[in-house]
Amino acid sequence: MLKIAVLVSGGGTNLEAILEAVDNGTITNARVETVISNNPNAYALERAAKRGIAHLCISPKDFFSRDLFHQALLEQLRACAPDLIVLAGYLVVIPPEVIAEYKNRMINIHPSLIPAFCGKGYYGLKVHEGVLARGVKVTGATVHFVDEGTDTGPIILQRAVAVEEGDTPEILQRRVMEQAEWKILPEAIDLIANGRVRIENGRTRIG
Nearer to ligand GRF, 121 or 207 (CB): 121
Nearer to ligand GRF, 1 or 114 (CB): 114
Rounded to an integer, what distance in angstroms lies between the CA atom of residue 136 and that of residue 196? Answer: 33
Nearer to ligand GRF, 127 or 193 (CB): 127
Kindly name the residue from 55, 70, 110, 128 that is annotated as catalytic: 110
Residue nearest to ligand GRF (CB): 89
Interface with ligand GRF (CB under 6 A): 8, 10-15, 44, 88-89, 109, 111, 124, 173, 177, 181
Instruction: Please report the DSSP string for 110-148 in residue order.
Output: ESS-TTTT-STT--THHHHHHHHHHT-SEEEEEEEE--S
CB of 54 to ligand GRF, least distance (A): 18
CA atoms within 13 A on the CB side of 194: 13
CA distances from 60 to 64, 73, 159 (A): 8, 9, 33
Please say if 128 is a catalytic residue.
no
CB of 55 to ligand GRF, least distance (A): 14
CB of 192 to ligand GRF, least distance (A): 18
Rounded to an integer, what distance in angstroms lies between the CA atom of residue 6 and that of residue 85? Answer: 6
